[in-house]
A = this chain, B = another copy of it.
Amino acid sequence: MQVKSLRGKNFIAISDFTKEEIVTMLDAGFALKLENARGEHHHILQDKTIFMMFYNKSLRTRNSFETGIFQLGGHGIYLDTNAVYTPAVKGQEQAFATERLDDVAKVLSRYGEAICVRIFGDPVGWVYGAANNYMREFARAAEVPVINMEDDMYHPCQGMADLMTMQEKLGTLEGKKVVISWAYSPSRKKPISVPHSMMAVSSLFGAHVVLAHPEGFDLDPAQIANAKDNVARYGGSFTITHDMNEAFKDADVVYPKCWPSPKFFATAEKEADWKAQDELFDANKGWICDEKIMELTNRDSIYMHCLPCDRSFEVTDAVIDGPHSVVYDQAENRMHAQNGVMAVLMNG
């Protein structure tokens, strides 16, 4: 393949790229990780500035990006959208408080070399897809690459880190059972981006992907269709179950995580129905990843989580702090995987 064609591209969803392109960026991340381990400097982004625009809180994303950018010789600028004139799409502007998103994107394109954006939930009134629409609008208006630091549909940087972690731990995904499972949490206001991106990456390499959740917590049908397309093309399988035990049985990878049910989210026509959401949650408090259910998995299975996790709800301390857990390696891989993405999209 030719990598030059990747230069200048946006990085919004795993499914925007071919498998070969994903592998190229992943391999670049592995190479940079190894150089980093050997103490070699790689100032690929020298004198380049990258804007990190956050509508939402962040620990890992912000710090893995800002640290990674610095390692690559560049400078990351953390922007809290409340400290700038908050970028708003046409029709949602408010004089001297917001600024037309296009203007923000075009102006920042004149100063720096990429724009990273995180947006989901409250800033778009919990209308499913509205945050991804902001992301696409940034990409349309900007003259530099736009990198998705998580929206309401996708978290592709997390997907790349998850893929890197699975490859490191399992060697290959071929024939492995990879379980993406719902888990209970008292905190319901979350995007569903992480399971989507995990489905997108884990379905590319011949794994048996199992999606497990209580009824009512269906993921986006388009994302499921994409995962099914992938297994049809690249091997493996894709199944859905509503039985957590069945899912965990003989699993090589388990990724139990709380996500909400977008069917209760707001739409252009109606308000969000948080009460119905709560009832559905309360009915499924048993979906927790504890040592007992981990016994169903394979001996060398890995427990994954993007963090922050809601300890005692999604998972017990014994599991996340136990021998199956790879969560800190996974968090570290955020930085190396993103460095690979930036190196490929922004070099030259």
Contacts and interface: CB of A to CB of B under 8 A. Distances in A.
Nearest to A48: B70
A144 B99 CA distance: 34
A93 interface: yes
Interface string A68-106: 101100010111100111000000010110011001101
Contacts of A49: 66-67, 70-71
Copies of this chain in its oligomeric complex: 3
A182 B346 CA distance: 42
Given A63-B77, A66-B77, A85 B57 contact: yes
A93 B335 contact: no
A186 B111 contact: no
Contacts of A311: 93, 100
A271 interface: no
Contacts of A189: 96
A104 B67 contact: no
Given A67-B49, A83-B57, A307 B99 contact: yes
A84 B99 contact: no
Given A85-B308, A96-B190, 11 more contacts: A47-B71, A63-B108, A63-B111, A63-B112, A95-B185, A96-B310, A99-B308, A103-B307, A107-B328, A111-B332, A111-B335
